[in-house]
Amino acid sequence: MSKRILSPRRWLGALTMAGLVITGQAHAFGQIPSPPEVALKSYILMDAASGEVLASQNPDEPMHPASLTKMMTAYLAEMELGAGNIQRDEKVLISEKAWSLGGSTMFIEVGERVPVEELLKGIIIVSGNDASVAMAEHIAGSEDAFAQLMTSTAQRLGMTNTFFQNASGWPAEDHYSTARDLAILGKHIVQDFPEHYGLYAEKYYQYGVDKKTGKPLRRQANRNRLLWTNPYVDGLKTGHIEDTGYHLAVTSERDDRRLIAVLLGSKSEKQRANDAQKLLTYGFRFFENVHVKKGGEPLQTVKVWKGDISEIPAGITEDLIVTVPRGTGKNLTASLTIDPKLEAPIEKGQTIGSVKVMLEDELIREVPLVAQQAVEPGGFFKRLWDSIVLFFTGLIA
């Protein structure tokens, strides 16, 4: 069993997040205790802003995700809502397949027409298998076609070890994901569609009425125990399957930081909640985030040769945030590396250098520095003169 820890001197290498390549080396700058002992088959603790993994154990081991599958079902529904392809109040016809699946349910009936918004609540809050299949059929025509969309979307998000066979997490062969991939998905759920994220913190949901009595059907509780015991927790999803045990994807925001933890293979609901609390406490207590540079803003004016203009602004595409051991952020330094003989043509967004973040003498993060303005080739005499200057500059150098 492998165990990977981001301690003060242990940094992940080559993890791509938000389009940036995170690179690092392993060395220590202070003392941080090992992560708490947890009885899990696999887990990961990730900082949502930086993408740094603070602690993990077998994070890339494929396992059946059970109802954590519904995180992708909900994400695709949110994506379709955001694109305007479906509407909140749009009515969805409930098929016999959706109604008859069994397991967790939101109590919808065959032939009923249910608003998309209610189905989304049923998926997220009470883990409705019926709601998941109904949503899948409505978006893609069939659950099989929807599962293909789920897998292709996972690949696009950087979930490299995930494959879906259905929308609910019903037991199936070749239906798998990993703690790391599900943490990546959780990050996107929080950041990509914040207008829907409040649903993940809802503790109860009730839908429909009893046809015989006319009374509302029983109110169901969200199975995420931490919503009741930890005021900073606001999502995400629970899951359980006999073969692999109890799962939990949980996220918590505290002091302007958000952590995401995915725990797979716990022995009970109580244990997965307790272990998740331990990991979240560890991440908030011993690490801090430092906002190094702001994305989209010019960081430096760069000299360009043989172009129709001589200088352009350069910057980074996303905010540069790093997670470091608490108390070491004051020791961070950032430097820019730029090609001194940068020649036109240059496209907007083209990589023209890098920004390096150092913690004392160790490289913590390196991200691309990009051109924030395009440069077309200059006229004949401009290119000729710059060529002469570069030639003699090269000789002198």
Query: Pick the catalytic residue: 67, 132, 252, 266?
Result: 67
Dist CA 47 CA 58 (whole Å)? 18
Q: Is the dihedral of CA 313, 319, 322, 328 positive or negative?
A: positive
The answer to whether 127 is a known catalytic residue is: yes
Query: Pick the catalytic residue: 42, 50, 70, 132?
Result: 70
Dist CA 378 CA 126 (whole Å)? 62
Q: Which of 64, 55, 79 is nearest to 189 (CA)?
A: 79
The answer to whether 203 is a known catalytic residue is: no
Q: Which two tokens stand for residue 261?
A: 């933890």
Residue length, the chain? 397
CA dihedral 31, 35, 36, 39 (to 10 degrees): -160
Q: Following DSSP, what letter does each residue of 15-58 receive, concatenated? A: EEETTEEE------SS--PPPPP---SEEEEEETTT--EEEEES
Q: Which two tokens stand for residue 111?
A: 């032939």
Q: What is the largest CA-CA distance in the chain?
A: 93
According to DSSP, the β-strands at 311-315 and 362-371 are antiparallel
Query: Pick the catalytic residue: 127, 168, 177, 266?
Result: 127
Do 65 and 177 contact (CB within 8 A), yes or no? yes
Do 64 and 175 contact (CB within 8 A), yes or no? yes
Dist CA 347 CA 350 (whole Å)? 5
The answer to whether 348 is a known catalytic residue is: no
Q: Convert 297-320 into a string of H (helix), E (strand) and C (coil).
A: CCCEEEECECECCCEEEEECCCCE
Active site residues: 67, 70, 127
